[in-house]
């Protein structure tokens, strides 16, 4: 499964949101699995969108055929769009599916890992971080994915409320960082917390 992450600075919010609803046209595209996103909590002018495809080949076919038509309604409403593609590696909590209808909050972590630490980083994600997040009552589902190059990883978790996610962060993160040796693995870490916009869900 291919995971597409789009982050952009929105300059015309009403037009951007109207255009975002046009992506309902993705329904019926071969290989399309689901899409959702919303607004950054830390920077209200930043929008994040996550889109899931069965394979890179089917995604490339969509990009060649239909993408520009669907994207045309948002021209001029945003700038500095950054698009990254990742390949699914494993679930964060069992039974991941690209569904957004039962969550209110998304947490994205974008990790750049030292060259000699990628295997350790992936192992610790599976053995330390995943069980901790899966055991948190408010965490509904998540996905761990890897870019084709540059030792980049994406961890996307979906939460039923900001309050539940805050409990997890307060209680456990510092202890987990030490246990997993995350400081030695990471060359860079960026992340955001996103309020889901239900109207953007496809």
Write down the pLDDT at residue 182. 85
Distances, alpha carbon 150 to alpha carbons 110, 118, 187, 201, in Å: 12, 11, 11, 30
Closest CA to 126 of 158, 89, 95: 89
Write down the pLDDT at residue 170. 62
pTM: 0.93
Range of the domain at 120: 2-200
Two structure tokens written together for 155: 């961890």
| Enclosing H/E stretch for 71 | helix 67-71
Work out how many domains the chain is built from and give that number: 1
**Contact assessment for residue 50 and residue 5, using Cβ atoms and an 8 Å cutoff:** yes
Helix, coil or strand: residue 66: coil
The pLDDT averaged over each successive group of 10 residues in the chain (202 residues) is 98 96 95 98 96 97 95 94 96 92 95 94 91 86 91 95 72 77 90 96 97
What is the CATH number for 131?
Answer: 3.30.70.100
Write down the pLDDT at residue 171. 61
Write down the pLDDT at residue 152. 96
């Amino acid at each position: 499964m291919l995971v597409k992450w789009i982050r952009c600075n929105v300059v015309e919010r009403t037009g951007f949101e109207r255009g975002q609803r046009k992506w309902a046209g993705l329904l019926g595209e071969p290989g399309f699995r689901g899409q959702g996103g919303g607004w950054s909590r830390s920077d209200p002018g930043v929008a994040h969108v996550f889109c899931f495809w069965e394979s890179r080949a089917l995604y490339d076919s969509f990009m060649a055929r239909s993408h520009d038509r669907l994207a045309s309604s948002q021209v001029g409403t945003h700038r500095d769009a950054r698009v990254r593609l990742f390949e699914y590696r494993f679930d964060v909590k069992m039974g991941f599916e690209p569904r957004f209808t039962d969550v209110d909050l998304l947490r994205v972590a974008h990790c750049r890992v030292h060259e000699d630490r990628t295997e350790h980083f992936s192992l610790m994600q599976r053995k330390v971080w995943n069980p901790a997040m899966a055991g948190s009552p408010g965490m509904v589902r998540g996905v761990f994915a890897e870019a084709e190059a540059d030792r980049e990883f994406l961890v996307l978790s979906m939460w039923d409320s900001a309050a539940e996610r805050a409990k997890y962060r307060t209680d456990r993160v510092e202890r987990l960082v030490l246990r997993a040796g995350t400081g030695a693995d990471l060359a860079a870490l960026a992340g955001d917390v996103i309020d889901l916009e239900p109207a953007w869900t496809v």
